[in-house]
Amino acid sequence: MIVLGIDTCGPSGSITLGRIEGCSVFLLAQTGLAGKTYSAQLVPALRALLAGQNLGIANVKAIVIVNGPGSFTGVRVGVSSAKGLAHALQIPVVVVSRLEVLAHKADARSAALDAGRGEFYFRDGAHEFLLAAKDVPSAASGSVAVCEESAARVFPNAILVDPPTAADALTFAVPRLLAHDFADIATLDGNYLRRSDAEIFAKTPGKV
């Protein structure tokens, strides 16, 4: 079974193709996507990735989408693309959090991503939330997987690893794929953890 992995949550993104055989995944190819160009790059990059493996879009039988947290626009582009492809091809989608992929990559219980404004997207076990830097000492008592120097400087027991990719997400998602733990396409949305800038800075009616 050919599976497509998509991750457009970070400053740079990636898409990957893998083949599931039994309980194993064999990564076929991966290509990077430059940040802030996801909407223009994703479909052409997918076409090129498939062509490089002598495959067509009809060969893709499932999608693994990283639905955040991260760049609001990046998350929206990735999720929308996954939903559109899944609907057109009538194939299932498995959803994973970038934080849980990062934690798995570092073999840690917790993970953190820099959310800007002195805040971090934080995962502790199965719980994800926005964490202020001032609250880190009381919230993060054990090892924390990070992929940014800014986070490594704040979390005292940080495990610094390379940023998670679509290939990492696909590999992580194999058990869910085999268990048919699929998302409902109609309700699938981004895992933003924070409102968009437009919502945060919108003026309340009647106020200056």
pLDDT score, position 205: 57
The Cα–Cα gap between 100 and 87 comes to: 26
The reported pTM is: 0.93
The Cα–Cα gap between 178 and 8 comes to: 24
pLDDT score, position 157: 92
Q: Residue 134 has what DSSP assignment?
A: G
pLDDT score, position 139: 87
> 148 vs 203, which has greater pLDDT?
148
The CATH architecture one would assign to domain 2-98+163-200 is 2-Layer Sandwich (3.30)
Instruction: Report, as an integer, the average pLDDT of 11-19.
Output: 97
pLDDT digits (tens, 9 = 90+) for 153-185: 999 999 999 999 999 999 999 999 999 999 999
Please report the sign of the dihedral spanned by the C-alpha atoms of residue 109, residue 175, residue 79, residue 13. positive
Q: Which tokens in the block code for residue 60?
A: 């893709």
Q: Which residues of the chain form beta strands (DSSP E)?
A: 2-7, 13-21, 24-33, 60-66, 93-96, 110-116, 119-124, 127-132, 144-146, 158-160
Q: Which tokens in the block code for residue 20?
A: 């599931």
Q: Which tokens in the block code for residue 128?
A: 């994800």
The Cα–Cα gap between 206 and 208 comes to: 7
Please report the sign of the dihedral spanned by the C-alpha atoms of residue 10, residue 2, residue 45, residue 81. negative
pLDDT digits (tens, 9 = 90+) for 54-86: 999 999 999 999 999 999 999 999 999 999 999
Q: Which tokens in the block code for residue 126?
A: 């199965």
Q: Of 136, 86, 147, which Cα lies nearest the Cα of 113?
A: 147
pLDDT score, position 199: 52
pLDDT digits (tens, 9 = 90+) for 84-126: 999 999 999 999 999 999 999 999 999 999 999 999 999 999 9
Every domain of the chain and the residues it spans: 2-98+163-200, 107-160
Residue type at position 64 = V
pLDDT interval class at 206 (50, 70, 90): low
pLDDT score, position 140: 84
The β-bridge partners of 145 are 111, 159
